[in-house]
A and B are shown apart, each in its own frame.
Chain A
Amino acid sequence: MPKRMCVLTALLLVLAVSASAFANWTGTITIWDCPRWGNEEDDKFHWIKGKIAEFEASHPGVKIELVETPWAELGEKLSVAIAGRAWPDIVPVDISGAINRNHLEQGVVEALDDYMTPEELEDFFPGALEAYTYKGKLYGIPMSMSVHVMLLNLDHFAEAGVEPPENGRWTWDEFVEKAKALTFDSDGDGVIDKYGFSTYILPGYYEAWPFFYMDGAQPIVNDEFGFNTPEAISAIQKLVDLKFVHGAAPVEMGSSDVGGTFRALAREGERFVAIQPWNSWAIATVTGEGVNHMPNVMVAEYPIGESGRPITIGGAGGWVVMYQKDRSKLDVVVEFAKFLSTTEEQYTFALNYGTFPSRKSTEAMDPFADQPLMARAAEMLEYAVTVPEHPNWAQIDARIQAELQLIFAGEKSVEQGMNDAAAQVQRLLR
């Protein structure tokens, strides 16, 4: 055998051994997951445990450690983990909160473009991919989509003798008229105890925001603050007037009390508000069993303003793969993340967990054939916009929401509040 042939053969052997070594990586993968839906034993982690068992069985030597994490603690826990460089391998977050654009730029999250074929990408809805894309790179595998919707307590409507909006669509004026009619004194003691509408204002939460987009405004336009434009001021003023001029919202509207707001709509014995905007996950909660079960509930669009469209805010959930020093481990970690977000798994989620699939193939399986509220909410994805993509978004958002809190507490005019926000935000936009 000539010498050159020997060298070539040796090289090929080395490559083959290396390749098989990569494919056969063994070790421990850590995944954080949060409560999903319960099984007979009310184990809300049964789905992920089942998937882990399946994956471990088909990948001898790979052990997957599950860290059960409450949703409420996920962001904070992940922030601390990132600060301490002790992150898990996979985590169910989007890329706007605990993981933000600065982290993406610093390489804390793995870009997954090389792991997705064009055919695979084609199966995802563009909005879902967009939610995990930053500067042209894909930083996660979308598992689900969500949208903000209006939940209507039809018992409250019936008690007030008010007709709900036809097919859940209404203009701003119709919405105001109904909200006013839904505000009344139910027990005759001379004090109003039922209200048409309420919502809350808190950094990182966007239930109220589609109202501010209603007349065509956006928070950031061409790197300039956009919520102090005439379109934004008029839209915010309309919602402020609903509380202070029309009296159709309780004093708590615009506070930061998330739990109290939800109880006012859904909790048995505490209901006193007819209409509230919530993320679509709430549909599963109010239609499921328990103290928050609403016997007669309807899903409606946000009111249509000057923009002519029932604009709402959408989002996506999925799996993010954190930075891996060991590149051979990365292959297995990504494989597991993809294993969790197949067409079939998304169908299971849609049926049991109240999320919209991010895959077209799952949508084609018609998961909401027996869930009319989810089916109606899914139609609203068409009008969904996402919150702006900016490295400083968390800080910008906190400043805008702080000013909105003061506006809805009646302590600042809309113009003053948004101009104050502009002065703070403009520095962060530069």
Chain B
Amino acid sequence: MLKRIWKARSGYLFILPKFVFFTVFVLVPIIWSFFVSFQEYRIFGTEWVGLRNFRDALQDDLFWMAVSNTLRYAVVVTPCSVAIALILASLIHPLRPGAQTFFRAAFYLPTVASSVVISMVWRWIFQTRYGLANYFLSLVGIEPINWLHSSAWALRSVIIMAVLTPPGVGVILYLAAMGSIPESLYEAARIDGANRLMQWWKITVPLVKPTTLYLLIVSTIGSFQVFDQVMMMTQGGPGYATTTIVHRIYNVAFRDFEFGYAGAMSMLLFAAVIVLALIQSKLVSSDAEYKG
């Protein structure tokens, strides 16, 4: 084994920096959270409490409210963001290379911006009195909506923001996947009389399924971890209308200083995301992957 590693040392050296960062900032905190979830964490000395934190989490009405809000967010945002990425990529792909490059950059660049900045911009858009959203509604005679401060609209506002934020990574990945589909398949379809929509539905969509699966899983994980948008736009309110799982975990950990309890909720979230990813993988996985 050591010999094999030594032979491939240059490869390992390349991944070493990333691996070190991953270990320090992801792996170790996850393991630490796991152990903390069985403890009542105190600054000086902790107490082993077994499964008590998990039991408390499952009996916590605020946790279930957060689960419900997160599910409602994920159920809309995940399919919408993947579908929008697919549609945008499909519209960009037939364009000339120059135009493609322009649109790739146009859709990818916003993903470089911090979600905090984007959320602040959307907070302005949803501002009740001077916001752009209510201004547009007023042009068609619709009464202003109290977007961020009514229970009925607050979560919808966060969802609208997430859906309308360009899915830059998805567009790039879909474009790459579409670029690898052989032109001969489309030629054959055209000879058989298929129109553009039929070609897209029968050739493009099935052959980018692996990318769709990947994006669905990544987007689901992202949706379950929604936090900064909520923190910036509504702080979980009004009441608990936009309290999501990670927002609840954050409050329990850093406002209430119950790190064991927060750790238990994190582990429950971790388990839920793994189960969902496996289910998605089973449902969407396909043998239609193009290997040519």
Contact of A301 with B by CB under 8 A: no
B254-277: CB near A (< 8 Å → 1, else 0) gives 111101000000000000000000
Which residues of chain B are near A250, meaning CB under 8 Å?
129
What's the minimum C-beta distance from B58 to chain A, rounded to whole angstroms? Answer: 16
Contact with A along B232-261 (1 / 0, CB 8 A): 001101111000000000010111110100
* Chain A residue at minimum C-beta to C-beta distance from B145: A251
Q: Is there contact, CB below 8 Å, between A398 and B151?
A: no
CB <8 Å contact, B254 and A411: no
From B43, B150, B239, B256, contact of A106 by CB (8 A): B43
6 nearest A-B pairs in the assembled complex, by CB-CB distance: A255-B149, A405-B238, A406-B239, A79-B254, A402-B239, A106-B43
Which residue in chain A gives the minimum CB-CB distance to B149? Answer: A255
Check B127 for interface membership: any CB of A closer than 8 A: yes
Stretch in A24-32, A80-88, A139-147, A363-371 with 4+ CB within 8 Å of B: A80-88
| In the complex, chain B residues whose CB is within 8 Å of the CB of A254 | 149
Q: Give CA–CA (A409, B235) in the complex, Å.
A: 15
Question: In the complex the two chains form, what is the Cα distance from A405 to B239 in whole Å?
Answer: 6
Besides A83-B253, A103-B257, 6 new A-B residue pairs in contact (Cβ under 8 A), listed by A number:
A203-B255, A251-B146, A252-B128, A256-B238, A392-B256, A394-B256
Q: Is B202 an interface residue (CB 8 A)?
A: no
Q: Counting chain A CB atoms within 10 Å of each CB, which of B42, B129, B146 scores highest? A: B129
A100 is an interface residue with CB less than 8 A from chain B: yes
Interface presence of A18 (CB below 8 A): no
In the complex the two chains form, what is the Cα distance from A135 to B239 in whole Å? 32
**B residues neighboring A (CB under 8 Å):** 42-44, 127-130, 144, 146, 148-151, 234-235, 237-240, 251, 253-257, 259
Chain A residues with Cβ under 8 A from B238's Cβ? Answer: 255-256, 402, 405-406, 409, 411
Q: Which of A250, A257, A394 has the most CB of B within 10 A?
A: A257
The answer to whether B44 touches A256 (Cβ under 8 A) is no
Task: Tell yes or no: A202 within 8 A of B by CB.
Answer: yes
- Which among A108, A270, A406 has the highest number of chain B CB atoms within 10 Å? A406
Bound together, the chains give a CA A394 to CA B130 distance in angstroms of: 33
Contact of B44 (CB < 8 Å), options: A100, A107, A252, A260: A107
Pairwise interchain contact A100-B235, C-beta atoms closer than 8 A: no
What is the CB-to-nearest-CB distance from B225 to chain A, in angstroms, rounded to a whole number?
Answer: 18
Chain B's closest residue to A82 (CB) is B43
The verdict on A102 contacting chain B, using a C-beta distance below 8 Å, is yes
Chain A interface residue count, CB cutoff 8 Å, equals: 34
B residues near A107, Cβ cutoff 8 Å: 43-44
Give chain B nearest CB distance to A324 CB in angstroms.
13
Are B240 and A402 closer than 8 Å at their CB atoms? yes
Task: List the A side residues contacting B234 at CB < 8 Å.
Answer: 256
- Give the distance to chain A from B174, nearest Cβ to Cβ, in Å: 37
**A106 and B148 form a contact (CB under 8 A):** no
Instruction: Look across to chain A and name the residue whose beta carbon is closest to the beta carbon of B123.
Output: A257
B151 touches which of A80, A256, A409 (Cβ 8 Å): A409
Distance, CA A157 to CA B44, complexed state (A): 56
Most chain B CB neighbours (cut-off 10 Å) among A82, A85, A260: A260
Q: Are A251 and B254 in contact (CB under 8 A)?
A: no
On chain A, the residues within 8 Å of B127 by CB distance are 260
Contact status A395-B43, CB under 8 Å: no
Give every chain A residue within 8 A of B254 (Cβ-Cβ).
Answer: 76, 79-80, 83
- Give every chain A residue within 8 A of B237 (Cβ-Cβ): 256, 402, 405
15 contacting pairs across A/B (C-beta < 8 A): A79-B255, A83-B257, A83-B259, A103-B257, A250-B129, A251-B128, A252-B129, A255-B149, A256-B237, A272-B129, A395-B255, A402-B239, A403-B239, A406-B239, A411-B238
Cβ–Cβ contact B255 & A256, under 8 A? no
Smallest Cβ distance from B3 to chain A, in angstroms? 40
A202–B235 Cα gap in the complex (Å)?
A: 9
Contacts A252-B128, A398-B251 given; indicate if A411 touches B150 (C-beta within 8 A). yes
CB distance from A176 to the nearest CB of B (A): 23
Output the least CB separation between A257 and chain B (Å).
Answer: 7
CB distance from A319 to the nearest CB of B (A): 20
Bound-complex Cα distance A254 to B148 (A) = 12
Report the Cα distance A102→B41, complex, angstroms.
12
List residues of A (402-427) whose CB comes within 8 Å of B's CBs.
402-403, 405-406, 409, 411
Of all chain A residues, the one with the shortest Cβ separation from B236 is A402
Whether A257 touches B148, Cβ cut-off 8 Å, given contacts A80-B254, A394-B256, A395-B256, is yes
Set of chain A residues within 8 Å of B129, measured between Cβ atoms: 250, 252, 272
Kindly state the separation between the CA atoms of A411 and B152 in the bound complex, as whole angstroms: 9
Chain B residues whose CB sits within 8 angstroms of the CB of A409 once the complex forms: 146, 149-151, 238-239
A56 to B: closest C-beta gap in Å: 30
